[in-house]
């Protein structure tokens, strides 16, 4: 299960906006309204109006406007159905047009249409000098079966899609997943030291952010294929889950650094401070070869 996180400015992500869209628990925890399909109407657990404005803002280099509207695709069961949605994106970088009215459909992010519907899409998740990241969430109606994704767009219009995978009920997991996904994608596009510093300062404790900015702690090796590492990212909780708040939450983070040799797995050990929800420790582990 994956959780949405939105950005309210260039460096601030707040999980409060998650609850506004999908809730802080399972997507399927709020039952969707079930009714026969009506033309040009999307019926979900939150109302989506035809031509709804999702984003309209300037974030340093980026100017982004995204609207959402119903399309002709019908998703549902025999007794009821809903219309799917498209996001229409106009994006510029330093006043140079990147996309103009680009339509992004469910099939563009999950590969097909008719099974999943776009419940959320077009919200700014993160932005840097190197790239902007939009959130898309596509789910089978009335279930928590689906995908939450980051759509990375670079100033030249190239893009990359990453799936966000969070383990429900494990405190700290989402912070590790968010950080690692953004870090690997930023490294993949050659992010500047300033962009990486911004990422460290948002997700990590002050002490750890300073160490990372000074490049005294390696996160991944420079010869890592960052895209492949992102696609193979696996986060394992190391704590005894008893439902009680912990002072710190420990995780093992695995990824495969080389697409030509999937027998090799690199391992990191990371901790999240239970009081601040900041990553407080990153420690390189072993390299396993099967």
Alpha helix ranges (H) inside 151-217: 173-188, 193-203, 206-213
**pLDDT per residue as tens digits for the range 24-80:** 222 222 223 233 333 333 343 333 445 899 999 999 999 999 999 999 999 987 778
Determine the pLDDT at residue 8. Answer: 33
pLDDT above 80 for 252: yes
**pLDDT per residue as tens digits for the range 184-237:** 999 999 999 999 999 999 999 999 999 999 988 789 998 999 999 999 999 999
Q: Could you give the CA distance from residue 88 to residue 67 in angstroms, rounded to a whole number? A: 5
Q: How large a percentage of the chain has pLDDT more than 70?
A: 80
Average pLDDT rounded to a whole number, residues 262-279: 94
Determine the pLDDT at residue 171. Answer: 76
Q: 5 near 135, Cβ under 8 Å? A: yes
Average pLDDT rounded to a whole number, residues 246-265: 94
Average pLDDT rounded to a whole number, residues 80-105: 95
Q: 76 near 37, Cβ under 8 Å? A: yes
pLDDT above 50 for 11: no
Which pTM was predicted? 0.81
Helix 193-203 crosses helix 173-188 at what angle (to 10 degrees)? 180
Backbone angles phi, psi at 90, to 5 degrees: -115, 125
Average pLDDT rounded to a whole number, residues 255-263: 94
Domains of the chain in sequence order: 1-164 (2.40.128.510), 168-290 (3.10.450)
Determine the pLDDT at residue 243. Answer: 65
pLDDT above 50 for 286: yes
Closest-CA residue to 69 (of 44, 39, 49): 49
Determine the pLDDT at residue 165. Answer: 78
**DSSP assignments along 218-278, one per residue:** -SS-TTS-HHHHHHT-EEEE-S---SS--SEEEEEEEE-S-TT-TTEEEEEEEEEETTT--
Backbone angles phi, psi at 183, to 5 degrees: -60, -50
pLDDT above 80 for 273: yes
């Amino acid at each position: 299960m994956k959780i949405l996180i939105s950005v309210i400015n260039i460096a601030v992500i707040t999980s409060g906006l998650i609850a506004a869209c999908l809730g802080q628990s399972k997507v399927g925890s709020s039952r969707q309204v079930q009714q026969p399909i009506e033309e040009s109407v999307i019926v979900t657990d939150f109302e989506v109006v035809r031509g709804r404005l999702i984003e309209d803002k300037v974030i340093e280099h980026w100017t982004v406007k995204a609207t959402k509207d119903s399309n002709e695709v019908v998703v549902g069961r025999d007794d009821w159905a809903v219309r799917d949605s498209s996001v229409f994106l106009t994006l510029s970088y330093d006043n140079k047009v990147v996309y103009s009215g680009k339509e992004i459909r469910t099939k563009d992010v999950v590969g097909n249409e008719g099974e999943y519907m776009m419940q959320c899409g077009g919200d700014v998740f993160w932005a840097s000098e190197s790239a902007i990241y939009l959130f898309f969430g596509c789910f089978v109606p009335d279930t928590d079966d689906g995908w939450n994704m980051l759509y990375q767009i670079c100033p030249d219009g190239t893009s990359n899609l990453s799936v966000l995978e969070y383990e429900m009920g494990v405190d700290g997991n989402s912070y590790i997943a968010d950080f690692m996904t953004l870090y690997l994608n930023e490294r993949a596009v050659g992010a500047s030291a300033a962009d990486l510093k911004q990422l460290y300062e948002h997700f990590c404790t002050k002490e750890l952010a300073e160490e990372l900015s000074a490049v005294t702690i390696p996160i991944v090796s420079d010869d890592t294929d960052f895209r492949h590492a992102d696609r193979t990212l696996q986060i394992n909780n190391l704590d005894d889950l008893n439902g009680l708040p912990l002072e710190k939450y420990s995780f093992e983070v695995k990824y495969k650094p080389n697409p030509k040799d999937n027998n090799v797995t690199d391992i990191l050990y990371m901790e999240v401070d239970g009081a601040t929800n900041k990553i407080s420790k990153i420690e390189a582990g072993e390299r396993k070869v099967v």
